[in-house]
Chain A
Amino acid sequence: EIVLAQSPATLSLSPGERATLSCRASQSVSRHLAWYRQKAGQAPRLLIYDTSNRAPGIPARFSGSGSATDFTLTISSLEPEDSAVYYCQLRSGFAFGPGTKVEIK
């Protein structure tokens, strides 16, 4: 069973700052990893699939990178609406990571 770890648990930044979120898999998953954003009281929404592809309608400030076991979601310039919990997900077993909470100061 492949396990995902996310860091940091919480990220507190100001609007306009750059956010870097990490997701690490316990073994190689090639590029089969996705990122979701869940705003308070809402269902998760797919942001990035297959490591680096933005889902339709997702702004260009969101980007994904990585391979094998180490992956990164970058939000280039935070906006107030980006306050949310971000989850990475494997395709193998569709397991989710524990999440990173992004707080906007």
Chain B
Amino acid sequence: QVHLVESGGGVFQPGRSLTLSCAASGFDFSAYGMHWVRQAPGKGPEWVAVISFHGINKYYADSVKGRFTISRDNSKSTLYLQMNTLRPEDTAVYYCAKYSDYGEHGDWLDPWGQGTLVTVSS
């Protein structure tokens, strides 16, 4: 059974940096692309970034481009999101999600982890 567990959230001051982790189990992590999605309090989901199975291809939402970096360590079955120059508007629950492996392109988000809350506040 696929299991995704995010960690690294907490309360951070504006301008600081942090790295979120997503530990994966129950599937061949090295064979699947992965997403990060965030959801601000009371708002809908906002897609953040995606990385290919080998880590070569990466794409970002305009709102985080140049500040966030997605990466992965297939030897550790772990996905990362490095977040620099944090802003109050980055406050959200951050979810990782696996490529679905079905559909025409196989990159829908299924399943998702339970999320980790990042609060950016002075």
Q: Name which residue of chain B comes closest to A48, CB basis.
A: B108
* Most chain B beta-carbon neighbours within 10 Å: one of A42, A55, A87, A98: A55
Given contacts A49-B100, A49-B102, contact A96 B47 (CB under 8 A): yes
Q: With a CB–CB cut-off of 8 A, which chain B residues contact A96? A: 44-47
B114 close to chain A: CB less than 8 A: yes
Interchain CA distance A56-B50 in the complex, whole Å: 22
A32 to chain B minimum Cβ distance, whole angstroms, is 7
A46 close to chain B: CB less than 8 A: yes
A68 close to chain B: CB less than 8 A: no
Q: Digit string of B99-117 for contact with A (CB within 8 Å is 1, else 0)?
A: 0101111011111111100
Interchain CA distance A94-B112 in the complex, whole Å: 14
A50 close to chain B: CB less than 8 A: yes
A53 close to chain B: CB less than 8 A: yes
Q: Name which residue of chain B comes closest to A90, CB basis.
A: B47
Interchain CA distance A38-B37 in the complex, whole Å: 14
B34 to chain A minimum Cβ distance, whole angstroms, is 12
Interchain CA distance A94-B33 in the complex, whole Å: 14
The DSSP consensus for interface residues of chain A is: loop
Please tell me if the beta carbons of A43 and B114 are within 8 angstroms of each other in the complex: yes
Given contacts A93-B47, A96-B46, contact A44 B112 (CB under 8 A): yes
Q: With a CB–CB cut-off of 8 A, which chain B residues contact A44? A: 45, 95, 109, 112
Please tell me if the beta carbons of B108 and A49 are within 8 angstroms of each other in the complex: yes
A99 close to chain B: CB less than 8 A: yes
B72 close to chain A: CB less than 8 A: no
A34 to chain B minimum Cβ distance, whole angstroms, is 5
Given contacts A44-B112, A45-B112, contact A94 B47 (CB under 8 A): yes
Q: Digit string of B42-71 for contact with A (CB within 8 Å is 1, else 0)?
A: 001111001000000000010000000000
Selected from A43, A94, A98, the residue in CB contact (under 8 A) with B35 is A94
A27 to chain B minimum Cβ distance, whole angstroms, is 18
CB<8 Å pairs between A and B, sample of 6: A31-B104, A43-B114, A44-B45, A46-B100, A55-B100, A91-B105
